[in-house]
Amino acid sequence: MEEIQSQSDNYRSSSSSASSPASRVPSSNFFYLRKPGSLRQPISFEDSPEWEDTDADVRVEEGGDSINAATTPVSPSLSKLNSGSLPSPPMPEAAAVTRKTAGASVVWKDLAVSIKGKRKYSDKVVKSSNGYALPGTMTVIMGPAKSGKSTLLRAIAGRLHPSAKMYGEVFINGAKTRLLYGSYGFVDRETTLIGSLTVREYLYYSALLQLPGFFCQKKSVVEEAIQAMSLGDYANKLIGGHCYMKGLARGERRRVSIARELVMRPRILFIDEPLYHLDSVSALLMMVTLKKLASTGCTLIFTIYQSSTEVFGLFDRICLLSNGNTLFFGETLACLQHFSNAGFPCPIMQSPSDHFLRAINTDFDRIIAMCKNWQEGPLLKSKGKASNATRIAVLTWRSLLIMSREWKYYWLRLILYMILTLCIGTVFSGLGHSLSSVVKRVAAIFVFVSFTSLLSIAGVPALLKEVKIYASEESNQHSGALVFLFGQLLSSIPFLFLISISSSLVFYFLIGLRDGFSLLMYFVLNFFMCLFVNEGLLLAVTSLWQNIFWSILTLVTIHVVMMLSAGYLRIRNELPRPMWKYPLSYIAFHTYSIQGLLENEYLGTNFAVGQVRTISGFQALHSAYDISQSSKSKWENLLVLFLMAIGYRILVFVLLHFHVRKNVSLHRIWQCRKSTT
């Protein structure tokens, strides 16, 4: 903290000289008035202080693992805040030395962005912006709310939605090319984290999803990311999200989201609002951590709304936006001198960022931005990805770990199933095996299948969280629709089987169904397939709405309609054909599950009617429920349930691949419009 204070003192002394009394206008009007005689003259860089371009000698060592950048500062006053002269935050004595990263120079020239509205493209959100970022430095895009900061950041990173048009050029190490996978990292303003995992576990699973190679090779990468973001004290703590554990504070959670991108060892890191929702102390710690990260050679470009004086002193270069226009690009102290010469000197006791925001919100004429020369370097190459098989295995194991810890959504759901099964079993217990018990057994099986399926709606919050995590990981190409689908499918099988076998055993013996191990195993398998189909339905509806209220409302409606058409309240052959029998009774999975369970119970049985006559179980049941006489029919019903489960998963894949991705893109467009309107 003493070092931070010294940096702040250096900044204050420099800002004092930049806004000395000799260059100030009277204090009563220096905030919003320009110098006399300059009202009709546009301000350009001819009005700003003169300085020479910074010469940078960039040498990339063989293998591309480190970079040496020697910068020649322009003057003693401007060099105080240069990345080369600012000391990095001290590291603990026992801490490992952070791996050097080969950064990359980024230059954007005449960059403009327009977003398509309902009919045509709107006015340009970003207008002819020029700037650059060098390895080992922090370049900040600053401006008031709705000035186009996030849009400019996404345009430089190549992450604009296809409906947005970008004009101009972006150069990476002197070459006009797009950023490839693994060469850069992008951190959104809000990132969905998995609260039931520790920081180390979350980063380890992220590394397994992103990087190729063996599992053991990922541990060093994770430890480097933890060290780079100063998360050593929180590595074994849960991220948070449980009602019984507070979890990490916002500052640490924000650092975890940045560390997730660092496991790729990116050369360029883009961060949208790293200080979003952070207090002043957390913001300062965050920027000191990012300064330490930049000192390893990584190129940092991020947006920020405003900052304190101490935080402002850590920036290397600033791109100042207002209503899509670049009012200034250059070094931080040069910005102070530039505004002072333009008639807007910054007071000694005021934060420069606050001063800039107040100044550019007035009728300030456009300042022409300049673009300095950029360094040439090697072309960035795409890094290898983890194989789909590895990703599926990682997602499966991670989901199983989450299920074991998310008692609120999974274990509580198991307890509710057991309570409901006990209630149904005790209500229908003691039925016996007489002919008069057939109708009651049909009712018991119908209630068991229908109510347990309806109770599964309690899993909607957990599924919604999984969909949001998928959307967050898919946006950074860490996952895919097929990978997520298989991972979720495989991880849900043990949990659904645990529910099916525990609930089936309680119900089977309380009701007193037919003895026989094969009959019991079919009952368990049938109920498991019923839950398996229902889980696919839940996931499809949740992926469609991505909202708890509308998902639950839709699912309740679907389940009620399926119960009405399942053939119990009225035999299926007697249902009105245009709608209830065709297609609803054939769409309802309740129909096939109940029919298979009744065939398993009654086919091959006989009931005595009087002393001479007997009737088969099919005849006894036919008046209460439609079943088939074929001995293979119960397996055919099981096959139909399996095909329905596959069909719902295919529907989920389509929704994840198109609908969820579209919603994420629309959310980004909404953020872009929100930042400009």
Is residue 409 scored above 80 in pLDDT?
no
3-state secondary structure 137-154: CEEEEECCCCCCHHHHHH
In order, the DSSP letters of 360-374 are HTSSPPPPPP-----
Mean pLDDT of 657-672: 57
Query: What angle is formed at CA 148 by the lines to CA 142 and CA 149, rounded to 5 degrees?
Result: 35
Query: How far is it, in rounded angstroms, from Cα 652 to Cα 650?
Result: 5
What's the burial of 169, exposed, middle or buried (CB within 10 Å: 0-12/13-18/19+)? Answer: exposed
Q: How far is CA 382 from the centre of its chain?
A: 22
> Hunting for tokens 């198109």 — which residue is that?
658
| pLDDT, mean of residues 269-288 | 87
Higher-confidence position of 598 and 403? 598
Q: Is the pLDDT of residue 214 over 80?
A: no
Residue 246 and residue 240 in contact, taking contact as beta carbons nearer than 8 Å: yes
pLDDT for the residue 357: 67
Chain CA centroid to CA 180, Å: 20
What pLDDT was estimated at residue 119? 52
Distance between CA atoms of residues 281 and 290, nearest Å: 14
Task: Indicate the pLDDT class of residue 276, thresholds 50, 70 and 90.
Answer: confident
Q: What pairing do the DSSP bridges indicate for beta strands 138-142 and 164-172?
A: unpaired
Task: Give the domain ranges of the chain.
Answer: 101-183+266-346, 192-265, 388-670
Show Cβ contacts of residue 503 under 8 Å, excluding neighbours closer than 6 positions.
Answer: 417, 418, 421, 452, 527
| Greatest mean pLDDT among 110-124, 180-194, 294-308, 542-556 | 542-556
CA 18 to chain centre: 43
Residue type, 293: L
Interatomic CA distance for residues 414 and 522, integer angstroms:
21
Residue 26 has pLDDT above 70, yes or no: no
Residue 116 falls in which region: left (phi positive, over 0), alpha (psi -120 to 50) or beta: beta
**Which tokens belong to 221?**
């990468």
User: CATH classification of 101-183+266-346, choosing from 3.40.50.300, 1.10.10.10, 3.40.50.10210, 3.40.50.2300?
Assistant: 3.40.50.300
pLDDT per position as a tens digit, 591-615: 999 999 999 999 888 888 877 788 8
Q: Average pLDDT in the 273-287 region?
A: 85
Among 43, 6, 17, which Cα is nearest to 363's?
A: 43
pLDDT digits (tens, 9 = 90+) for 624-651: 888 888 888 999 999 999 999 999 999 9
Give residue-wise pLDDT tens across range 415-461: 999 999 999 999 998 888 888 888 899 999 999 999 999 999 988 98
Per-residue pLDDT of 344-402, as tens digits, reads 777 776 677 767 766 665 433 433 333 334 446 677 776 777 888 888 888 888 888 88
Which residues does residue 166 pair with via DSSP β-bridges, in sequence order? Answer: 113
According to the model, what pLDDT value does residue 537 have? 95
- Model confidence at 71: pLDDT above 50: no
pLDDT at 39: 32
Are 29 and 313 spatial neighbours (Cβ–Cβ below 8 Å)? no
The whole-number pLDDT of residue 647 equals: 95
Give the least confident one: 103-107, 292-296, 314-318, 654-658.
Answer: 654-658
Q: Which range among 225-239, 332-346, 388-402 shows the weakest confidence by mean pLDDT?
A: 332-346
**Residue 615, strand partner residues:** 607
**Any residues with CB less than 8 A from the CB of 423 and at least 6 apart, and which?**
none
Distance of CA 344 to the CA centre of its chain: 41
The mean pLDDT of 149-160, rounded to a whole number, is: 90
Residue 629: the pLDDT is 84
Q: Cα-flanking dihedrals φ and ψ of residue 328, to 5°?
A: -160, 145
Higher model confidence: residue 444 or residue 674? 444
Reading the block at residue 236, the tokens are 């074994």
Indicate whether 245 pLDDT > 80: no
pLDDT of residue 468: 86
Query: 45-54, 426-435, 482-491, 553-562: which has the highest mean pLDDT?
Result: 553-562
Q: What's the pLDDT score for residue 79? A: 34
Query: Which of 514, 511, 520, 506 lies closest to 430 in space, CA to CA?
Result: 511
* Portion of the chain with pLDDT greater than 90, in percent: 31
**Measured in whole angstroms, how far is the alpha carbon of residue 391 from the centre of its chain?**
17
Residues 657-663, mean pLDDT to the nearest whole number: 67
Supply the DSSP string of 432-483, one letter for each residue.
Answer: -SSGGGHHHHHHHHHHHHHHHHHHGGGGHHHHHHHHHHHHHHHHTTS--HHH
Give residues with Cβ within 8 angstroms of 4, minimum separation 6.
Answer: 89, 284, 288, 310
Q: What angle do CA 488, 491, 492 make, to 5 degrees?
A: 80
Backbone angles phi, psi at 259, to 5 degrees: -65, -30
533-536-537-543 Cα dihedral, nearest 10 degrees: 180
Q: Average model confidence (pLDDT) for the chain?
A: 77
Task: Enumerate residues 6+ apart whose C-beta is below 8 A from 512.
Answer: 429, 430, 431, 432, 433
Which tens digit of pLDDT belongs to each residue from 483-519? 889 988 898 899 999 999 999 999 999 999 998 999 9
pLDDT at 144: 82
Q: What is the mean pLDDT of residues 324-344?
A: 81
Q: Confidence class of residue 241 from pLDDT cuts 50, 70 and 90? A: low
188-220 per-residue burial string, b: 16 or more CB within 10 A, e: under 16: beebbbbbbbbbbbbbbbbbbbbbeeeeeebee
Pairing, β 175-176 against β 164-172: antiparallel
- Calpha distance 134→58 (Å, rounded): 10
Q: Which residues contact 515 (CB under 8 A, 6 or more apart)?
A: none
Beta strands in 16-163 (DSSP E): 55-60, 67-72, 106-116, 121-133, 138-142
Better pLDDT: 85 or 315: 315
Cα–Cα distance list, 209 to 262, 287, 395, 476, 654 (Å)? 13, 28, 8, 11, 22
In the block, which residue shows the tokens 């645990």?
A: 498
| pLDDT score of 450 | 95
pLDDT at residue 527 is higher than 90: yes
513 Cβ contact list (under 8 Å, min separation 6): 441, 519, 520, 523, 601
Q: Where are the beta strands (DSSP E) in 224-365?
A: 268-271, 299-304, 317-322, 325-331
pLDDT at 91: 37
Give yes or no for a contact between 370 and 330, defined as CB atoms under 8 angstroms apart. yes
Mean pLDDT of 314-318: 90
- Checking if the pLDDT of 163 tops 70, the result is yes
- Residues 279 and 252: beta-carbon distance below 8 Å: no
Average pLDDT of span 586-595: 94
Confidence label for 657 from pLDDT (cuts 50, 70 and 90): confident
More confident residue, 610 or 575: 575
User: pLDDT band for position 249 (50/70/90)?
Assistant: confident
Q: How far apart are CA 324 and CA 351, in angstroms?
A: 23
Nearest one of 419, 460, 463, 446 to 625, comparing CA atoms: 446
Helix (H) or strand (E) holding 618: helix 617-622
Cβ–Cβ < 8 Å for 641, 533: yes
Residue-level pLDDT at 182: 85
